[in-house]
């Protein structure tokens, strides 16, 4: 995450330059801990590794398609970001 913040700040993305670094650190720290706890929760639901693998692939593929459909208009819009 520090590399992510440093790279975003170096190339001048507004999200990283306009927000306080301490707030960003707290946000990313909480987000990473939530991801870990979600992984433990989901690991307790699956007893078979193959089922977990298939559902993970379907989830990644499905969210990729969903994001492609939802954000297609933002990518094609010439005024974004304004």
Q: Are residues 66 and 77 in the same domain?
A: yes
Cα–Cα distances in angstroms (integers) from residue 39 to residues 32, 36, 42, 55, 65, in the given order: 11, 5, 5, 13, 22
pLDDT digit string, tens, across residues 18-76: 888 899 899 999 999 999 999 899 889 888 899 989 999 999 999 999 988 888 887 77
* Beta carbons of 11 and 4 less than 8 angstroms apart: no
Full residue range of the structural domain in which residue 23 is found: 1-45
**What is the count of structural domains for the chain?**
2
Q: Is 32 in the same domain as 70? A: no
Q: Are residues 37 and 4 in the same domain?
A: yes
Q: Say if residue 1 is in the same domain as residue 25.
A: yes
Say yes or no: 56 and 33 in one domain: no
> What is the C-alpha separation between 51 and 3, in angstroms, rounded?
34
Residue 73: predicted pLDDT: 80
pTM confidence score: 0.59
Same domain flag for 51 and 41: no
Are 5 and 21 a contacting pair, CB within 8 Å? yes
Judge if 67 and 31 occupy the same domain: no
């Amino acid at each position: 995450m520090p590399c992510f913040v440093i790279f975003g700040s170096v190339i001048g993305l507004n999200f990283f330059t306009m927000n306080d670094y301490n707030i960003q650190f707290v946000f990313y720290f909480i987000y990473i801990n939530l991801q870990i706890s979600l992984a433990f929760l989901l690991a307790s639901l699956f007893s078979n590794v193959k089922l977990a693998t298939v559902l993970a692939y379907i989830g990644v593929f499905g969210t990729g398609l969903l994001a492609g459909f939802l954000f297609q208009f933002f990518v094609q819009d010439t005024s974004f970001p304004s």
